[in-house]
């Protein structure tokens, strides 16, 4: 009874998350919602979500055996192909789960790496992703092979398993070194390119994935950057010259951030993120129609810190106002208004009261409030421009 693999049928996936004291149920539901979007982006179909309440994960199989059995029954009856966990699993946990469920198991990091690998288009992005994949794999080889070592290696013998690991390790180390060399060469070219841009003010679009960065880029620069309703539509940095009024500046669009962006990806995308690190102004875009937008803001700020870009002037651009919705409260309901009860105007006011970072509410898709954004941007760019070109008289 051979395994039947139909490459035309998209794979079916179950999603698995764990709720605990620090991770309440509603949050896990949001996370799994995002995981489902990631799975769709990867080309598979999310068919069911499983959440287990668990304060300490099982060291062998991450979730408890009861839950695992429940999932197994579902997997069998619905012909599911993969089990995707929202949290990071150890190599041995993955192995144990795969043995129990008899299907492939992935964690979130794995999935994101896979999506990046499929979506990378340029040689540069491909090289960056390949590097991240090998770096992810290297420390995991041991875990993947220990059982073989034990089975095959006799007493005092160097088992074939072990030799294989050593060979594999050596091959991977060589690959990593080669990829780093390649990237370094391209990086040097890019540094020269960036130097040639002169002193022009540089603005970088940053934000969570799928918030509308590329859509705004296209709108402001009249370019045709790829934008779509999938995660990580953009992997390479694109830079365009934009002119507002008579003021020219450079605008860059780059890879979006996400919760738990794999560390190796951030590492290997460092030079793509140089656009952000070297920018004079950041346009932090937020999808206001997303229920988790506040947490997304936090993830972006944290990632900016990781790449040492957190101390730049920021203009917060709340996008997708056209898609914003709220839960209207009854007149006689006197309980305090929650965030989900705020109208757009109330939300704007409460945000303005909370922060001193300049912000603006727009819809890039419906082209709402774009002139206001432009004049705000003009002011910000001008402030920097005049310090760099003190004798430039185009402004006066």
Of 11-19, 160-168, 267-275, 320-328, the window that binds ligand GTP (rule: CB under 6 A) is: 320-328
Residues 132 to 151 in contact with ligand GTP, rule: CB under 6 A = none
Q: Does 372 participate in binding ligand GTP (rule CB under 6 A)? A: no
Q: Does 238 participate in binding ligand GTP (rule CB under 6 A)? A: no
Q: Does 214 participate in binding Mg ion (rule CB under 5 A)? A: yes
| Cβ atoms of residues 281 and 384 within 8 Å | yes
- Taking the complex as a whole, the smallest distance from the CB of residue 323 to ligand GTP amounts, in Å, to 4
Residue 42 or 80 having the CB closest to ligand GTP: 42
Of 56-64, 127-135, 211-219, 276-284, the window that binds Mg ion (rule: CB under 5 A) is: 211-219
**3-class secondary-structure state, position 274:** helix
Q: Where are the alpha helices (DSSP H) in the chain?
A: 25-41, 65-78, 91-101, 108-119, 123-137, 141-152, 160-195, 213-221, 263-268, 274-277, 293-306, 344-354, 370-388
- Taking the complex as a whole, the smallest distance from the CB of residue 228 to Mg ion amounts, in Å, to 8
First and final C-alpha spacing in the chain: 81
Alpha-carbon distance of 256 to 204, in angstroms, equals 12
| Cβ atoms of residues 256 and 276 within 8 Å | no
In this structure, which long-range contacts are made by residues 264-268, counting pairs with CB atoms below 8 Å and at least 24 apart in sequence?
264/113, 264/131, 264/132, 264/133, 264/135, 264/136, 265/112, 265/113, 265/116, 265/129, 265/132, 266/303, 266/306, 266/307, 267/132, 267/135, 268/128, 268/129, 268/131, 268/132, 268/135, 268/183
Q: Does 256 participate in binding ligand GTP (rule CB under 6 A)? A: yes
Of 86-94, 225-233, 330-338, 343-351, the window that binds ligand GTP (rule: CB under 6 A) is: 225-233
Q: Does 233 participate in binding ligand GTP (rule CB under 6 A)? A: yes
Residue 86 or 253 having the CB closest to Mg ion: 253
- Taking the complex as a whole, the smallest distance from the CB of residue 310 to ligand GTP amounts, in Å, to 19
| Cβ atoms of residues 357 and 316 within 8 Å | yes
Of 107-115, 214-222, 265-273, 274-282, the window that binds Mg ion (rule: CB under 5 A) is: 214-222
Q: Does 286 participate in binding ligand GTP (rule CB under 6 A)? A: no
- Taking the complex as a whole, the smallest distance from the CB of residue 27 to ligand GTP amounts, in Å, to 22
Instruction: Residue 271: name the closest of 245, 252, 244 by CA.
Output: 252
- Taking the complex as a whole, the smallest distance from the CB of residue 369 to ligand GTP amounts, in Å, to 10
Residues that bind ligand GTP (CB under 6 A): 207, 209-215, 227-229, 231-234, 256, 319-320, 322-323, 363-366
Residues that bind Mg ion (CB under 5 A): 213-214, 233-234
């Amino acid at each position: 009874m051979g395994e039947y693999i139909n490459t035309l049928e998209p794979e079916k996936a179950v999603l698995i998350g764990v709720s605990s004291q620090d991770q309440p149920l509603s949050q896990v539901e949001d996370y799994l919602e995002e995981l489902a979007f990631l799975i769709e982006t990867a080309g598979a179909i999310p068919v069911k979500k499983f959440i287990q309440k668990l304060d300490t994960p099982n060291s062998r199989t991450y979730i408890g055996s009861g839950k695992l059995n429940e999932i197994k029954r579902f997997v069998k009856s619905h012909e599911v192909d993969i089990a995707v966990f929202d949290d990071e699993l150890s190599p041995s946990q993955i192995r144990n789960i795969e043995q129990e469920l008899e299907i492939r198991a992935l964690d979130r990091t794995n999935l994101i790496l896979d999506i990046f690998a499929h979506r990378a288009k340029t040689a540069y992005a491909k090289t960056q992703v390949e590097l991240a994949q090998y770096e992810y794999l290297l420390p995991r080889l041991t875990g993947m092979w220990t059982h073989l070592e034990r089975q095959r290696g006799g007493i005092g013998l160097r088992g074939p398993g072990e030799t294989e690991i050593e060979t594999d390790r050596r091959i991977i180390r060589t690959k990593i070194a080669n990829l780093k060399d390649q990237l370094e060469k391209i990086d040097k070219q890019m540094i020269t390119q960036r130097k040639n841009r002169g002193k022009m003010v540089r603005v970088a679009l940053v934000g969570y994935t799928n918030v509308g960065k590329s859509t705004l880029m296209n709108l402001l620069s009249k370019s045709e950057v790829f934008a779509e309703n999938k995660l990580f539509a953009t992997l390479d940095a694109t830079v365009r010259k934009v002119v507002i009024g008579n003021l020219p500046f450079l605008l860059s669009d780059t890879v979006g951030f996400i919760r738990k962006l794999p560390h190796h990806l951030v590492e290997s995308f460092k030079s793509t993120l140089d656009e952000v690190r070297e920018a004079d102004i950041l346009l932090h875009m937020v999808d206001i129609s997303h229920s988790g937008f506040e947490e997304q803001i936090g993830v972006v700020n944290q990632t900016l810190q990781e790449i040492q870009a957190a101390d730049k002037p920021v203009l917060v651009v709340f996008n997708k106002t056209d898609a914003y919705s709220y839960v209207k409260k009854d007149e006689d309901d006197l309980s305090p208004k929650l965030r989900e009860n705020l109208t757009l105007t109330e939300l704007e006011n409460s945000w303005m009261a909370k922060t001193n970072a300049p912000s603006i509410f727009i819809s890039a898709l419906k082209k709402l409030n774009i002139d206001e954004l432009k004049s705000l941007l003009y002011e910000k760019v001008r402030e920097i421009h005049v310090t760099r070109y003190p004798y430039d008289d185009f402004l006066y």
